[in-house]
Amino acid sequence: MTWLVTGGAGYIGAHVVRALREDGVDVVVLDDLSTGDASRIGDVPLVQASLLDRDAVDRTIVEHDVRGVVHIAAKKQVGESVADPFYYYRQNVLGQLVLMESMRDHGVGRFVFSSSAATYGAPDTALVEEKSHLEPESPYGQTKVVGEWLAKDAEAAYGVRSVCLRYFNVAGAATPELGDPEALNLIPMVFERLTRGERPQIFGDDYPTPDGTCIRDYIHVADIATAHVSAARYLEGEGSSLVLNIGRGEGSSVREVIDMVGEVTGLDVTADVVARRPGDPPRTVASADGIRRWLGWEAQYDLRDMVSSAWDGWTLRHPEALDLPRRP
């Protein structure tokens, strides 16, 4: 059985491809390489195409005898989605629709969907459960909600079973070569500022949390990858469709993350506190009970592992960071 991984040459996708291969699964990747890198996936077959290209999707499914799909390809920047929502609906929603129509027409009945904690918006609860109300605060988050609706309706109408995985805050790298190439999340943003000789920034320290900074559930990208393998294996059985969080069920504050960067790197991480960012909830932490119960999956890596592996990936691409002065 071959699994198609869309977006498989990206940061998360390449980790999923690696984990599937290590589990003995045959894989083909479809990626337009707008943000992906073909070198990340080695000798795995790659089809360079957009999901909006129905002919390319059809050929990939037929020529590689695809029997299951892991759908990761998407645009994912919240601010960009606010500025250009139609682009996000076209890429994320229409792209998924084209993909799932092809699956239906070729009898592919297993679907793992890369969803997001952005579907929840800013939940006012200690632990976010899958049954929590969905109130996304950006077009990006809305496209993920619609993606889950598509998956649910595909089961009712066409018998396509799915596992929708709502990621929380992804970090780290399985190997330095697979590190996150962009500085769009907290840990690489801290690395980027330190490498430029600037202080890290904390967006508000007056939240109702123990140290006043926002708390998030950080999850290692290698754990994200094994969760996808568990979901694919689950669908190879006769299990019904699921919607599950991927998180550790533990929160780390922004200040705790920055302090861990200091411990791992030996750098001075004294931070500047600046104004809050609009829409940042004080605390977002996953309930991980569902994925543990249904897939028997648990996260294996902690915050130190995430920061350490992310730093190894960062310094591979930015070797000048290794020459920064260490704290006495």
User: For 119-163, how does the pLDDT look when each residue is reduced to its tens digit (9 = 90+)?
Assistant: 999 888 889 999 999 999 899 999 999 999 999 999 999 999 999
Give mean pLDDT, residues 320-326: 93
**Is it the case that residue 278 has pLDDT exceeding 80?**
no
**Is it the case that residue 328 has pLDDT exceeding 80?**
no
**Is it the case that residue 84 has pLDDT exceeding 80?**
yes
Percent of the chain exceeding pLDDT 90 equals 92
Domain 2-170+219-246, second-level architecture: 3-Layer(aba) Sandwich (3.40)
Mean pLDDT, all residues of the chain: 96
**Is it the case that residue 327 has pLDDT exceeding 90?**
no
**Is it the case that residue 109 has pLDDT exceeding 90?**
yes
The pLDDT tens digits for 171-200 are 999 999 999 999 989 999 999 999 999 999
SS (H, E, C) the chain: CEEEEECCCCHHHHHHHHHHHHCCCEEEEEECCCCCCHHHHCCCCEEECCCCCHHHHHHHHHHCCEEEEEECCCCCCHHHHHHCHHHHHHHHHHHHHHHHHHHHHCCCCEEEEEEEHHHCCCCCCCCECCCCCCCCCCHHHHHHHHHHHHHHHHHHHHCCEEEEEEECEEECCCCHHHCCCCCCCHHHHHHHHHHCCCCCEEECCCCCCCCCCCEECEEEHHHHHHHHHHHHHHHHCCCCCEEEEECCCCCEEHHHHHHHHHHHHCCCCCCEEECCCCCCCCEECECCHHHHHHHCCCCCCCHHHHHHHHHHHHHHHCHHHHHCCCCC
The pLDDT tens digits for 31-78 are 999 999 999 999 999 999 999 999 999 999 999 999 999 999 999 988
- pLDDT at 33 (0 to 100): 97
Domain ranges of the chain: 2-170+219-246, 172-216+249-288+300-323
**Is it the case that residue 316 has pLDDT exceeding 80?**
yes
Reported confidence tier of residue 111, pLDDT bands at 50, 70, 90: very high
- pLDDT at 130 (0 to 100): 97
- Higher per-residue confidence, 289 vs 122: 289
CA distance 94 to 102: 12
What's 172-216+249-288+300-323's CATH class?
alpha beta
**Is it the case that residue 279 has pLDDT exceeding 80?**
no
- Positions annotated as catalytic residues are 140
pTM for this one? 0.95
- pLDDT at 13 (0 to 100): 98
- Domain 2-170+219-246 and domain 172-216+249-288+300-323 have a common topology: no
Give mean pLDDT, residues 162-166: 98
